[in-house]
Structure 1
């Protein structure tokens, strides 16, 4: 399926690269160079332009999709808690059982899970996110522990040594994490460098980690690596997944649960 229109406009070629990326979940410069019958340098320039426009994430030898909502602030993401996110959170919240110690990551997804718990649930909840702590405090049977430190206004969560040390000192049954991006090979990645140690402490402190994510974050990569996918036990996502097959995650031993139609 070669495309030999060498005189093709760069803008048209870049549009086609985005379509191939959407289909395959990853593109390699060497393969694109053959496909379009242009030099690898030309393709690298295309990928650099697409990266500058925020449309792809450059990686060694090629490019990956960029998550659609990366870089938006916490409150913008919160307002966008659409029906899909609510349904994902409700499915995730069913995993919580009485008597458990449960860690809630920062972010709008984990907050949504906190708001979706059974009304009479009896757990100890731990979080570094004040708004999630406030939501959890509404439940009579929930004891809330808030990890402290400097508040990051982008993530509305505490970061730093104190938060990490406290999370590391807890042995929890369950942790809920919403992910900025997750890729089968690269792992769970974040847009924010300073939240990486807190996220790592959270994942390391839980016997079971449940990642809750919309489909656009699957197969995507952000600059800072948090952990390999093998740290996750369960991945809860949408029924229809565009980029990156859920089978890639199942092959890694992760239990993938998708919303019913």
Structure 2
């Protein structure tokens, strides 16, 4: 069996066997091939499972559990029930990798969000792969004005002739095409948007929206202040991550679009805050 990167590593594990006399040596050799592939799958999917990896590599569950434990001990993954996830921490996942993470969920969330954005309104879309998905879902909307600090969003919406696009200006963050800084904030303050669509890097159990970049946090706070309604778009993986800078509370969000049920305590908080939660489940 070939791995995700094309290496015939499963055959090495299958031929040696976990219970063979040379199992210890074979495990040490083959794990050096498995670990990079396990991390690649985790980056692509956001999570790996013991069952899935055992089937993928053709080895026992015990072998995979040892792999995941070693990757967790080295800080590359975090163990969860039945598998592992990408670690939380003070550094963000690469933007190109984030585009591929939970792509189907992001598209479903984006379509659900776009259904609540009427023709003929003004919308702000901020930095993030989830808001880029919303931009794609707005390609057939009519008579929109979209203001954005996300150059990727602007490039997507060029294909909608019924959409007027305004870029905020600001310092270009090359890694993701985002515009941030004081010039960005000063431009945003000149508008009052019907709807702001924002994402976040992480979300605490108490409902705080979090990010890694302090400059981006300031921009997001200004967006919320200048909008009549705020829509949050984020998939379930953000509930498992942490980030150091606070944007706002979900209390300040009018509609929260996600793909899986929220933790029980957060559902109760959203209900008390009158934050409407809309799920976009897999069909």
Paired with 1:164 and 1:156, the residues of 2 have a C-alpha distance of 16
* Match among 131, 135, 159 for residue 156 of structure 2: 135
Please list every run of 5 or more consecutive structure 1 residues that lacks an aligned counterpart in the other structure.
1-49, 57-64
Q: CA deviation at 1:54?
A: 7.1
SS in 1 for 2:131: helix
Please list every run of 5 or more consecutive structure 2 residues that lacks an aligned counterpart in the other structure.
1-71, 79-85
Structure 2 CA distance for partners of 1:153 and 1:73, relative to 1, 3 Å: farther
Q: Max radius of gyration: which structure?
A: 2
Q: CA deviation at 1:81?
A: 5.1
Paired with 1:253 and 1:55, the residues of 2 have a C-alpha distance of 36
Q: CA deviation at 1:183?
A: 2.4
Are positions 1:126 and 2:147 aligned together? yes
Structure 2 CA distance for partners of 1:243 and 1:219, relative to 1, 3 Å: farther
Alignment partner, residue 182 of structure 2: 161
What is the TM-score when the length of structure 1 is the normalising length? Answer: 0.70
Alignment partner, residue 117 of structure 2: 96
Are positions 1:173 and 2:160 aligned together? no
Are the aligned partners of 2:76 and 2:87 in contact in 1 as well (CA < 8 Å)? Answer: yes
Q: Which runs of 4+ in 1 moved over 6 A?
A: none
Q: Which has the higher contact order (CA 8 A, sep 6+)?
A: 1
Structure 2 CA distance for partners of 1:238 and 1:170, relative to 1, 3 Å: same
Q: CA deviation at 1:182?
A: 1.9
CA RMSD of aligned residues (A): 2.8
What is the TM-score when the length of structure 2 is the normalising length? Answer: 0.65
Q: CA deviation at 1:168?
A: 1.4
Alignment partner, residue 43 of structure 1: none
Alignment partner, residue 134 of structure 2: 113
Are the aligned partners of 2:211 and 2:246 in contact in 1 as well (CA < 8 Å)? Answer: yes
Alignment partner, residue 255 of structure 2: 234
Q: Which moved more, 1:65-74 or 1:167-176?
A: 65-74
Q: CA deviation at 1:154?
A: 3.5
Alignment partner, residue 206 of structure 2: 185
Are the aligned partners of 2:102 and 2:235 in contact in 1 as well (CA < 8 Å)? Answer: no
Counterparts of 1:82-93 in structure 2, within 5 Å, are 82-93=103-114
